[in-house]
Amino acid sequence: MAGKKILIVDDDRDLLRGLTVRLSANGYEVGFAVDSISAMSEARENRPDLLILDIGLPGGDGFMVLDRFRSVTSLAAVPVIILTAMDPATNKERALSAGVAAFLQKPAANQELLAVIQEVLEESTSSARKERDRSSDDSEAARKKILVVDDDPDLLQALNIRLKASGYDIVVAADSIAAISKAKKENPDLIILDIAMPGGDGFRVMERLKTAMPRVRIPIIIVSATDPSLNRDRALQAGASAYLQKPVDNMKLLAAIDRALEGPRRFTAQV
């Protein structure tokens, strides 16, 4: 993706110099900012194709920068990679929930960073093309929203990238309590659900959804590493649309999503 503009926002000037050299050598145009205020100024003046963003910044942290980007129409769709030394256990889920494309820990290996940059830019280009095609067709349905519920942050990140590239809006939750809260707040068109999770397993989530949202039945796809011989029949009997084994094949997952979203959501009478 040579020629793409990348804006790096980080107050570590040694890192800025190192990344500028690395990325320029790979054909990217590189700009940089050392705080949240100059980040917005630089982004407005030279709209980047990708933002590489630290969390710990002067003048407002990376989440504040992210919020400001999303509030500016011309910058709202710019994909973001978080590159930080801060604890992923505290920040990774929050970052993915905020819509970042990837979360990397400092120091990031050169090849890993370049591979993620290329993947994110390719998927952003693909999503933009699909969005243009969708906008040109008045009969095209609105983007479908998928809630992904799993306590594996690496899987959340991977599914976030894959499904956004396929034209879906994604929200995530890492435990059963957050899953119910996100489902009620976001009203997703489909849920991808693990079985083994903190705060109650996937079957408990399915039961609580029926209580919390009694008038609507959201299609649910189970994606789990647990033994399918023990859980598949139970999941399907509980109303799951499909049961897929981890590591999940991308094409099988997309096919299952398509099938689950084919029909209208089923409504039942309020008791």
| Residue 30 pLDDT class (50, 70, 90 cuts) | very high
Q: Is the torsion defined by CA of 206, 150, 141, 261 positive or negative?
A: negative
- Is the model's pLDDT at 54 over the cut of 60? yes
The answer on 149 and 261 residing in a single domain is yes
The answer on 125 and 43 residing in a single domain is yes
The answer on 165 and 261 residing in a single domain is yes
Q: Provide the number of structural domains found in the chain.
A: 2
The answer on 166 and 114 residing in a single domain is no
145-196 pLDDT tens trace: 999 999 998 888 888 888 888 889 999 998 888 999 999 889 999 999 999 8
pLDDT confidence of residue 103? 93
Q: What is the 3-state secondary structure (H, E, C) of the chain?
A: CCCCEEEEECCCHHHHHHHHHHHHHCCCEEEEECCHHHHHHHHHHCCCCEEEECCCCCCCCHHHHHHHHHHCCCCCCCCEEEEECCCHHHHHHHHHHCCCCEEEECCCCHHHHHHHHHHHHHHHHHHHHHHHHHHCCCCCCCCCEEEEECCCHHHHHHHHHHHHHCCCEEEEECCHHHHHHHHHHHCCCEEEECCCCCCCCHHHHHHHHHHHCCCEECCEEEEECCCHHHHHHHHHHCCCCEEEECCCCHHHHHHHHHHHHCCCCEECCCC
Task: Select from 106, 133, 160 the last residue of a domain.
Answer: 133
The answer on 162 and 110 residing in a single domain is no
The answer on 104 and 25 residing in a single domain is yes
The answer on 254 and 147 residing in a single domain is yes
pLDDT confidence of residue 126? 66
Task: Select from 103, 133, 163 the last residue of a domain.
Answer: 133
pLDDT confidence of residue 265? 46
- Is the model's pLDDT at 213 over the cut of 60? yes
pLDDT confidence of residue 271? 25
pLDDT confidence of residue 270? 30
The answer on 195 and 164 residing in a single domain is yes
| Residue 129 pLDDT class (50, 70, 90 cuts) | low
Task: Select from 133, 156, 178 the last residue of a domain.
Answer: 133
| Residue 127 pLDDT class (50, 70, 90 cuts) | low
Q: Which comes out higher in pLDDT, residue 122 or 31?
A: 31
- Please tell me whether the overall predicted TM-score, pTM, comes out greater than 0.75 for this model: no
Burial zone of 133 (CB within 10 Å; 0-12 exposed, 13-18 middle, 19+ buried): exposed
- Range of the structural domain that residue 121 is part of: 5-133
The CATH number of the domain holding residue 90 is 3.40.50.2300
The answer on 199 and 91 residing in a single domain is no
pLDDT confidence of residue 128? 57
The answer on 57 and 30 residing in a single domain is yes
79-119 pLDDT tens trace: 999 999 988 888 888 888 888 889 999 988 889 999 999 98
Average pLDDT, the chain: 84
pLDDT confidence of residue 193? 95
pLDDT confidence of residue 90? 84
